[in-house]
Amino acid sequence: MSQPKIPLDLILENLAEDAEKSTKLARAGSEVLLSQLETGIATTPYDVVYEEDRVKLKHYRPVADSKLRTPLMVVYALINRETMLDLQPGRSVVEKFLKEGIDVYMVDWGYPTRKDKFLTIDDHINGYMDNIVNFIRRRHNLAKINLMGICMGGTFSVIYSALHPQKIRNLVTTVTPTNFDTDQGLLHIWMKDIDVDRMVDAFGNMPGDLMNFGFLLLNPARLMIDKYVGFFQNMDDKAFVENFVRMEKWIFDSPDVPGETFRQFVKDCYHMNLLIQSKMEVGGKRVDLKKITMPLLNFYGKYDHLVPPGACELLTSSVGSRDTEDVCLDTGHIGIYVSSKCQREFAPKIAGWLRERDEKGKRTKPARTKSTIKQIENIMKANQEK
């Protein structure tokens, strides 16, 4: 007897088995969902040491002897919340930094309301950020501190470092867009065509929920279907459910973005790509990337669909510093901070890199000065002539 082309009997048998499994899963899942779940996020202890308007500065309580003289200030994006760096014990960048002996400060941008709609990029960078940097400098009696930026917070950190290089010892940028003239990510394609003036006039502040909906539309098959199928398939696993709910809590906790800040960010960056060309103006001053002379460590994700490599990798070659390093991880936009694999690489790499450059900059290669640039140019010219 020959084998049938369509093994209908086997398919039906598997289907019946699956139906039985699904029933068991649903029963077990409902027990898990009805049980006491640990879904708290941002549980690492901290103190609010500075407040200005809606903005707060968190200082995490040290858990180990400080191995770095210079504290680290972390600046998150205005989109979503900084709680992503401290999702859960054992999967927290903040926790890892503390264990590595880094003194960690984190900016919490809060929830902008209608009264914040006039706040510009200048107000965020030369206002809030500068006040916070000065506060930390005074608190530690230091001339310079370390600065780490995430996504849009990274872009702010780049601008800040270019405008106030005398206050920053080392700069770490992670998934930070600086070159917006790329077709690698859908966000970059879509943003080019939006009428931001009309949008800001209509909404005042850019609604966080609308932006979140836009992010879901970047990959609806995975983010709106497959993700929840995965949840259903694992709903009998308490640890999985807890992690899943934590992530949901973080993803949909989206503050609005102040209207004027959004307007300038879209126009200057997405529409005109001024930052990477050192043509952007903030607070009446040109943001010259060549003034970023401090060491720079630049992280980005190979599979990041929001801030693709093309948006990140030009930074190191555009700044004035010669102590620069690009690190491309095999992950996406969020995976850098939360995936177990990246957890092993990301925070330890930053801690080690900062430690190397902490001892009064002894081991830090000198920043490019006018004379060194001239020397390099002469050498290159001589090589070309040869």
Partner 1 sequence: MGEDQGKSTGTMPLLEAWMKSATEFWASMANIGSISTTSGEEKPQQKEAQKSRAQETLESALKMLGSLSSAAGEPETADSIFKGMNVFPGMMSKIAQTAWETYSHFQQQWMETAGRAGSRTEAYKFDDLDKDVFRAWSELYEQEFRKFLHIPQLGLTRFYQERMSLLSDKYTIFQGIIAKFLHILSLPMEKSFKVLEEKVASLADEGNLPQDPNDYYKIWIKVLEGHYMVLFKSPEYTKALGETLDAMEDFLLVRQEMFQDLMQTLPVPTNKEMDDVYKELYLLKKRLKKLEKEHSTG
Question: Pick from 151, 249, 244, 266: which is nearest to 199 by CA?
Answer: 266
- Under the binding rule (CB under 8 A), the answer on residue 118 touching partner 1 is yes
Q: Which of 256, 253, 286 is nearest to 268 (CA)?
A: 286
Distance between CA 192 and CA 212 in Å, rounded? 18
CA distances, 287 to each of 13, 108, 139, 181 (Å)? 66, 24, 28, 18
Q: Note whether 143 binds partner 1 by CB under 8 A.
A: no
Catalytic site positions? 151
**Sign of the alpha-carbon torsion through 374, 376, 379, 383:** negative
117: contact with partner 1 by CB under 8 A: yes
The correct pick among 189, 373, 379, 380 for binding partner 1 (CB under 8 A) is 189
Whose Cβ is closer to partner 1: residue 20's or residue 38's?
20
- Which value, to the nearest 10 degrees, does the dihedral of the CA atoms of residues 375, 380, 382, 386 take? 160
For residue 310, what are its two tokens? 């093309």
Q: Which of residues 85-114 bind partner 1 (CB under 8 A)?
A: 114
**Beta carbon nearer to partner 1, 39 or 184:** 184
The distance between the two most distant Cα atoms of the chain, rounded to a whole number of Å, is 87
Does 190 bind partner 1 (CB under 8 A)? Our answer is yes
CB-based burial label for 238 (10 Å; 0-12, 13-18, 19+) = middle
Segment 144 to 173, residues that bind partner 1, using CB under 8 A: none
Q: Considering only the stretches 222-230, 270-278, 339-347, 376-384, report the one whose residues sit in contact with partner 1 under the rule CB under 8 A.
A: 222-230
User: CB of 15: closest distance to partner 1 in angstroms?
Assistant: 5
Q: Kindly determine how many residues on this chain lie close enough to bind partner 1 according to the rule CB under 8 A.
A: 37
Among 38, 195, 209, 359, binds partner 1 (CB under 8 A): 195
Q: Which is nearer to partner 1, 18 or 281 (CB)?
A: 18
- Cβ neighbours of residue 177 closer than 8 Å, sequence gap 6 or more: 151, 152, 154, 155, 269, 307, 311, 312
- To partner 1, the closest distance from the beta carbon of 130 in angstroms equals 9
In the chain, DSSP assigns E strands to 46-52, 55-60, 72-75, 86-88, 91-92, 104-108, 145-150, 168-174, 281-282, 285-286, 296-301, 324-329
Query: Which window, 89-97, 144-152, 215-223, 333-341, contacts partner 1 (CB under 8 A)?
Result: 215-223
Rule CB under 8 A: say whether 198 interacts with partner 1. yes
> According to CB under 8 A, which residues from 28 to 67 bind partner 1?
none
- In this chain, which of 127, 181, 211, 238 binds partner 1, going by CB under 8 A? 127
Contact flag: residue 14 with partner 1 (CB under 8 A): yes
Residue ranges binding partner 1 (CB under 8 A): 3, 5-7, 10-11, 14-15, 18, 114-115, 117-119, 123, 127, 186, 189-190, 193-195, 198-199, 201-204, 217-222, 225-226, 229
